[in-house]
Structure 1
Amino acid sequence: MKHSTTPQTRRGRGPARRIGRSLALVLPVVLVLSGTLAVARVNWSGTPSSPVLTAAETTASGASSRTAARAPHEVLRDALLVELQQKDPGVALTHLQQAVNDRPSLAKHCASIARALGKAAVRVYGPTKAQSFSRPVCDTSFATGVVTAAR
């Protein structure tokens, strides 16, 4: 039996090598995407997402105080209306956009808050000056409020 002195090499790449390379390319992408989705679904605000409160939470929250009974969007609207009178509607609209970005749960109330700001701006500045503060916050609801109040 005669042995060859030249080293033997595989002529083709086997299926294991192809599968390994495919996994090496796909696996990091899958891990990054699943991690991103997991982080996006976490409630980072610290408030419970469930509307049901236990008895201990109800008594500990001090529900008798007036500020605890008001909804967050009502508190935000009132604060922005005060800010509109003290500074200008542009600052109030900027803070509205920041509040919606920080707390996405306020997004469903953004249009009504912006309309209320538009109506208040007409009362304080008049329709022409109020319209000059208009920005594309909450689908231009501020401008809608200005037009509604100017009629």
Structure 2
Amino acid sequence: MKHTTTQRTQRGPGPARRIGRSLALVLPVVLVLSGTLAVTRVNWSGSSSSDSVLAAAEAPSGTKARTKTRAAHEVLRDKLLLELQERDPGVALTHLQQAVNDRPSLSRHCTSIARALGRAAVRVYGPSRAQSYARPVCDTSFASGVLTQHG
């Protein structure tokens, strides 16, 4: 029995190979970007509050904010000072760290905000209790604020 063989001429890669190569280049980029975005949206503080510190930092609130636009770091500082009084300094420091991680442009104001939180914590909680909330957020600026207010 004799089989006839037909020779197939290769004119270039077929459409499946082109699609496969395109996916091999694009898919890792898409996965990395979507993973990065997913990680930034995770609530790492463990609190169940749905309001975001960044939302407050991005959009001014209140009636006087309509007449004069305030800087994002000023809005963030005011929100964190209010949170310190309503909850505790630990929550405020966690939200400060999240805000700085999410918006690196706030990092140059982190030290001054942490010091303000330290001074406010001494006024609200007293020096001993305020110092117990100290964390390495923005170096040791919170502890420095506690010390300057107490000393």
Q: TM-score, normalised to structure 2's length?
A: 0.57
Identity among equivalent positions (%) equals: 72
> For each residue in 1:19-72, what CA deviation from the matched residue of structure 2 results, as whole angstroms up to 9, or x when unmatched?
xxxxxxxxxxxxx9xxx9xxxxxxxxxxxxxxxxxxxxxxxxxxx8246x1000
Q: Following the alignment from structure 1 to structure 2, what is the Cα–Cα distance between the partners of residues 113 and 65?
A: 23
Write the letter of the residue equivalent to 2:66.
S
> For each residue in 1:61-110, what CA deviation from the matched residue of structure 2 results, as whole angstroms up to 9, or x when unmatched?
xxx8246x100000000000000000000000000000000100000000
Q: Following the alignment from structure 1 to structure 2, what is the Cα–Cα distance between the partners of residues 66 and 93?
A: 29
1:141 equivalenced with 2:137 (yes/no): no
Q: Following the alignment from structure 1 to structure 2, what is the Cα–Cα distance between the partners of residues 132 and 103?
A: 27
Q: Following the alignment from structure 1 to structure 2, what is the Cα–Cα distance between the partners of residues 99 and 107?
A: 9
Q: Following the alignment from structure 2 to structure 1, what is the Cα–Cα distance between the partners of residues 82 and 116?
A: 12
What SS does structure 2 have at the residue aligned with 1:65? helix
The count of corresponding residues between Structure 1 and Structure 2 is: 96
User: Which stretches in structure 1 are left out of the alignment for 5+ residues?
Assistant: 1-31, 37-63
1:76 equivalenced with 2:76 (yes/no): yes
Write the letter of the residue equivalent to 1:130.
A
Match of 1:127 in 2: 127
Q: TM-score, normalised to structure 1's length?
A: 0.57
Q: Following the alignment from structure 1 to structure 2, what is the Cα–Cα distance between the partners of residues 147 and 109?
A: 19
User: Which stretches in structure 2 are left out of the alignment for 5+ residues?
Assistant: 1-27, 33-64
Write the letter of the residue equivalent to 1:136.
P
Write the letter of the residue equivalent to 1:79.
K
The Cα RMSD (Å) is: 2.6
